[in-house]
Structure 1
Amino acid sequence: MFSILKRSSDFIKRNPSLLYSLLLIILIPATLYYNTFSTINSFQKNIDYELQTKALLAESIFTVFAPDILKNPEILQQKIEKIAKENPEITTIKVILPEKEKFKIIASKDTKEIEKEISTTAIDLAWSQNQTIAHLTAEGRERFWEVVKPFSDLEGENIGLVSMSMSLRSIDLLVLRTVRNSYIILISAILLSLFLIIHHTQLFKYPILLKKLQEIDRMKDEFLRMALHELQSPIVNIRGYIESLREEITDLATEEQKEYLSRVSLSAKNLSDLIYDMLEVSRIEQGRLDFTPQKISPQKIIDELIKEFTPKANAKGLKLIFQPKEEPYLINVNPHRFKQILTNLIENAIKYTKKGEIEISTWYSEVKKKYFIAIRDTGLGISAEAQKRLFEKFYRVKTRETAVIPGTGLGLWICKEICQRMGGEILLESMEGVGSKFIIFFPFVK
């Protein structure tokens, strides 16, 4: 028994939402039932009170004029019959006068009762205590409010009583219908609640599954990171061996052999670039990149990159243009990550531009408080359809011209992620066959 309780306790600790659902299964129906039951009881009491008040009011009105018409029994009887006709819920109404030690009915809704003696506890109490007596009675399943009230002459002496009985049949039927409808709604609400709660408990497996998937995803990322690190060293060695071999056999190798070496070298470089980009993706997703900001001058880093990429641009016959200018603002970013973004964008511009120029420009907006850097090229351009997915992981524009250009499809995703994590954004303006313009911007500081 103890082991069963312990296993149950451990299971609930591992799945606390199960206990929450069990509590809901108990509490929601109980709360709904209690609320409905209390509302119905309160409604019944209010209805009974209102009817009692109505009966007392009707009898009080009658007792006001009853003393004046006692001398004319025919008029008194007509009044009673009129009241009974206009108020069908009044089942009996009697005017009673004391006679010696007994009471006699002198007018009644039921004419057969006239001149008959009557004696009830309510009549005796109302007469002896000189107060109105009101109480509930029942005949079978029908309930009645019975009210007995003494009335007096002008001198204040009690001279008779009025007895009235009011049926609660129509009201009880209304209450019964209300109660039935309330319980139907209650049962429906309970069933719906139970359905939702049971459905909710079926969803327990999804958080557990999600947790497992997250763990698998974490293990996959860790494995990928380790595998890429292990691959990185051999690739670097292969590239080193290729370069050494190329230098040693420069004079001895045929043109075909040199071409083979060039292809191997290019493949090794592409593989190395892919490994580097995938490692960067892994670092970004796992939050292992350093984004510590510093106040830097964008133009200084751009100048460094212009010097670095000018030989590569010249080799393709491209102009690399940048006109520095004095600007009063800096940006607060990590300098290495900022340089990484610009490096990727300038490399892409050179890679996808066959002829023309690549221009880098900077400006700032006092209104938006932003500093802008644009890299414009006269390259292949990008279609509107391709622009929608350009910043997705592993996405590359597939055209006849781009098919022969190597790339991983990760560079722009990395640029966008780094840019956003440093509080900036990257935009693209491009027209197929005309060229592209990538714009990055960050908040500026003085």
Structure 2
Amino acid sequence: MKLSGNGGFFLKKYSQVIYAIVLIILIPLTILLNSIFIVRKFENDISRQLRRQALIVAELFDKTAFDTVDDIASVQDRIKRLLGGTEELRSFDILAPTETGNFQTIASSLPRNIGTNVSDRQALLVWAEDVGYAELTEATQQDVIQNPDLLNQRYWKVLFPLHDSEGKKIALLNLKMSLAYSDALFKKSLLQSWLLLIGTLGIVLALLFVNTRLLEYAISFRKLEEVNKMKDEFISMASHELRTPITAIRGYVSMFADGSFGAVSAAGAKSIAIIQASIRRLADLVEDLLDVSRIEQRRMQLSIEQIKLDEIITQTIDELMVSAQVKGLVLTYTGGATAPVSADKNKLRQVLVNLVGNAIKYTVKGSVTVSQTEETDTVTIHIKDTGIGIPAQDRDRLFTKFYRVESESTKGIVGTGLGLWITKQLVTLMGGTIYLESMENVGTEISFSLPKEKRAPAQNGAVAR
């Protein structure tokens, strides 16, 4: 039978709820049934053991302790000793047949029963067939009158013929072996099973509550992942779409600046310079967003080769020298290691421009120094400045996406918070590491290491070319 459309939708939508309800019912029920089964089996084993014990007691008494009905005092003494060694034995009567076809109690663990007549159909059958008999029964009103200890108890009733030394029947043994102890143990075990059930139910409910919360978190996380993916796709698409108009605007503004459309006044030239600076910032932002998209979508392409650092560092210094001189800073490269490194040339240049540019941006006065040191397998580039420094609480988050240090000293400094994140990702993709040391109001030194030997790009997002 097929589920209707609404029914299928309900099962799909509320499958976790249905699963939870099934667990709530099934787990405790399984534990309860298992406990009852085990306890019942334990109870039956004890009951069978008591039956066997009662028959053994009767048989041993027949073989070793009874030979005549004449010495009643001796029989009573033996019964008393026997009762003292068997806790479950509630009554022990010796019955002798009478001329009327019934039995009379001639010895008993309960003296008041001596001399009473017993009319018992089963006793007659046992006597006639000369075979032992055991029956599990509950105490009757007559049993309780004769022996109050049997109140609300179950017991094994054993009838066993007694013989003299020549094998002749001379009396009938009637004993009652109580199950009070095993019944109490069963009730106690059953109570413990119920308590265990309640505890298990509580644990299951707690686990289901946690599972429900985790399910909610998982759903929320999945939705966040979907939103994040849509965001990345949108950023990638928007950045690509912005590239073309930015390039066109930059071209036309350059033509205005060099007089291609006629002479430009001093005020116009100033305005054009401001436009060009804004376009550069916008173009840099678009490139940063494209890099973020490529890195997160694992589409960043690297061309690893052996590179001489002197050449590329010198080019970077020359490119940024004007920016340093405008602020009155001393930008120097002290050299150092001469060994080539394994890296992507364009990405390495991007890393150097980002780090040296940041050092210039956050240094008010003093200097920015670039140097190298060589280790066994790596070469480390150091960019040291005498700038505003980085507070201790901000250092751990400095390389996270969109994070910028917010303070009085950084209010007038523009930025997106993407540069250092991109820098760290690029260094990592080229098989290197990056770290920093900084002291507030003293300066910062950022260092990154690159391997000497040529290696394959790291596997967390780079695509080799």
Q: 1:96 to 1:424 in 2, by over 3 A?
A: farther
1:378 aligns with 2:385: yes
Q: 1:361 to 1:64 in 2, by over 3 A?
A: farther
Structure 1 counterpart of 2:111: 111
> After the TM superposition, which residues 346-357 of structure 1 pair with which residues of structure 2 at under 5 Å, given as runs?
346-353=356-363, 354-357=365-368
CA distance in 2, matches of 1:176, 1:109: 29
Aligned 8 A contact 2:153 2:180 in 1:
yes
1:318 aligns with 2:317: no
CA distance in 2, matches of 1:200, 1:251: 73
Q: Percent identity?
A: 32
> After the TM superposition, which residues 318-337 of structure 1 pair with which residues of structure 2 at under 5 Å, given as runs?
318-326=331-339, 331=342, 336-337=346-347
Identify the match of residue 253 of structure 2 among 227, 242, 245.
242
1:414 aligns with 2:413: no
Structure 2 counterpart of 1:66: 65
Structure 2 counterpart of 1:172: 183
Aligned 8 A contact 1:228 1:279 in 2:
yes
Q: 1:112 to 1:426 in 2, by over 3 A?
A: same
Q: 1:48 to 1:418 in 2, by over 3 A?
A: farther
1:225 aligns with 2:253: no
Q: Which residue type is aligned with residue 134 of structure 1? A: A
Aligned 8 A contact 1:305 1:343 in 2:
no
**1:213 to partner: Cα distance:** 4.0
1:429 aligns with 2:437: yes
CA distance in 2, matches of 1:304, 1:424: 17
Structure 2 counterpart of 1:35: 34
**1:77 to partner: Cα distance:** 1.0
Structure 2 counterpart of 1:8: 7
Identify the match of residue 216 of structure 1 among 223, 227, 237.
227
Q: Which SS does the other structure have where 1:248 is aligned? A: coil
More off after superposition, 33-42 vs 349-358:
349-358
Aligned 8 A contact 1:350 1:358 in 2:
no
> After the TM superposition, which residues 291-310 of structure 1 pair with which residues of structure 2 at under 5 Å, given as runs?
294=304, 296-297=305-306, 299-301=307-309, 303-310=311-318
CA distance in 1, matches of 2:127, 2:428: 93
Structure 1 counterpart of 2:265: 253
Q: 1:160 to 1:311 in 2, by over 3 A?
A: same
Q: 1:42 to 1:360 in 2, by over 3 A?
A: farther
**1:412 to partner: Cα distance:** 0.7
**1:363 to partner: Cα distance:** 2.5
CA distance in 2, matches of 1:425, 1:127: 101
List runs of 5+ in structure 2 lacking aligned partners.
141-151, 455-465
What are the Cα deviations for residues 269-290 of structure 1, in whole angstroms up to 9, with x where unaligned? 2222122212222222233323
**1:377 to partner: Cα distance:** 1.2
Q: Which SS does the other structure have where 2:229 is aligned? A: helix
Aligned length: 434
Structure 2 counterpart of 1:76: 75
Q: 1:15 to 1:259 in 2, by over 3 A?
A: same
What are the Cα deviations for residues 185-218 of structure 1, in whole angstroms up to 9, with x where unaligned? 4255346635754775687665555444433333
1:45 aligns with 2:44: yes
Q: Which residue type is aligned with residue 93 of structure 2? A: K
Structure 2 counterpart of 1:262: 273
Q: TM-score, normalised by structure 2?
A: 0.77
Structure 1 counterpart of 2:143: none
Q: Which SS does the other structure have where 1:93 is aligned? A: strand
CA distance in 2, matches of 1:145, 1:125: 18
Q: Which residue type is aligned with residue 162 of structure 1? A: L
Q: Which residue type is aligned with residue 220 of structure 1? A: K
